[in-house]
């Protein structure tokens, strides 16, 4: 499906489209019937353990933004 398939959506402003996508995503996220793959659960567990073992190695938002700016 393309945005042009739904003319009413295609006519929305950019801000309205963003709000629409947020609403659409929320409706998808609320559907509890969507299974979470076991591999995703394992990866989340792995990342949580890594964080618990080394919490100081995370970047603040400002540090992350500075790193991104340096790459440009």
Quick: pLDDT tens for 27-63. 998 888 888 899 999 999 999 998 898 877 778 899 9
Q: Please tell me the distance from the alpha carbon of residue 19 to that of residue 13, in angstroms, as a whole number.
A: 10
pLDDT exceeds cutoff 80 at 3: yes
The token duo for 25 is 């995503």
Domain boundaries in the chain? Answer: 1-34, 38-71
Compare 71 and 58 and report the one with higher pLDDT: 71
Confidence at residue 60, expressed as pLDDT on a 0 to 100 scale: 86
The angle subtended at Cα 28 by Cα 15 and Cα 4, nearest 5°, is 50
User: pTM for the whole thing?
Assistant: 0.47
pLDDT exceeds cutoff 90 at 69: yes
């Amino acid at each position: 499906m393309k945005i042009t398939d739904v003319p009413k959506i295609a006519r929305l402003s950019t801000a309205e489209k963003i709000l629409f996508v947020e609403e659409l995503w929320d409706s998808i996220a609320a559907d509890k019937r969507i299974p979470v793959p076991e591999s995703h659960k394992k990866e989340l567990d792995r990342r949580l353990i890594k964080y618990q073992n080394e919490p100081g190695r995370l970047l603040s938002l400002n540090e992350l933004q500075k790193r991104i700016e340096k790459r440009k």
